Amino acid sequence: MVNIIHRIAVKAPLARVYAALSTVEGVASWWTRETSGESKPGGAVHVLFRSPDGSERGRMEFDVLELNPNRKVHWRFKSGPEEWIGTDVTFELSEDGDSTSILFAHKNWREAVEFMAHCSMKWATFLLSLKELGETGKGKPAPDDLKIDNWN
């Protein structure tokens, strides 16, 4: 099993960053506008990605395994790209002065395929979107996300 890990800090209070990760409205503000479902332990959230021209790029669904207020969010993917099924995404938060530090992981990929390298880069741009959301009030969720290569 192989993992993607990133670390980023947002100059915003812990509670604001946690809300962006733990609610449907929050996730819709930095990852993809088309986020729906129930973000609570035992619930499932559906995310749909479109291109700026409106065409569908992909969709995934994850179970919310843990919502530990101001500390941790844990998702497990149950549908989407074949490589994502069964993988885990975690966000671990900590306060650091006037910033909130995020330790991100997308764990348990079966192999370090080129698509994982694409997703690592793409997660980095979405974490920058989350940082912008926390610091300016406006993120860049899909379909306004930064395109990094011919895959998206």
> Integer distance in angstroms from the first to the last C-alpha of the chain?
24
CB 106 to a second copy: min, Å: 11
In angstroms, give the least distance from the CB of 101 to a second copy.
Answer: 6
Minimum distance from CB of 14 to a second copy (Å)?
14
Surface-to-core class of residue 50, CB atoms within 10 Å of its CB (0-12 exposed, 13-18 middle, 19+ buried): middle
String marking each residue 5-44 x if it binds a second copy according to CB under 8 A? xxxxx-----------------------------------
Q: Counting contacts by CB under 8 A, is residue 48 touching a second copy?
A: no
In this structure, which long-range contacts are made by residues 91-98, counting pairs with CB atoms below 8 Å and at least 24 apart in sequence? 91/21, 93/14, 93/17, 93/18, 93/21, 94/14, 95/14, 96/9, 98/11
Say if CB 67 and CB 39 are below 8 A apart.
Answer: yes
Nearest to 30 by CA among 147, 150, 123: 123
Stretch that binds a second copy, among 27-35, 38-46, 49-57, 122-130 (CB under 8 A): 122-130
Site for a second copy in 77-96 (CB under 8 A): 96
Binding mask 132-151 for a second copy (x = CB under 8 A): --------------x-xxxx
Distance (Å, whole) CA 129 – CA 29: 9
Catalog residues that contact a second copy under the rule CB under 8 A.
2-9, 96-97, 99, 101, 103-105, 112, 114, 116-118, 120-121, 124-125, 127-128, 131, 146, 148-151
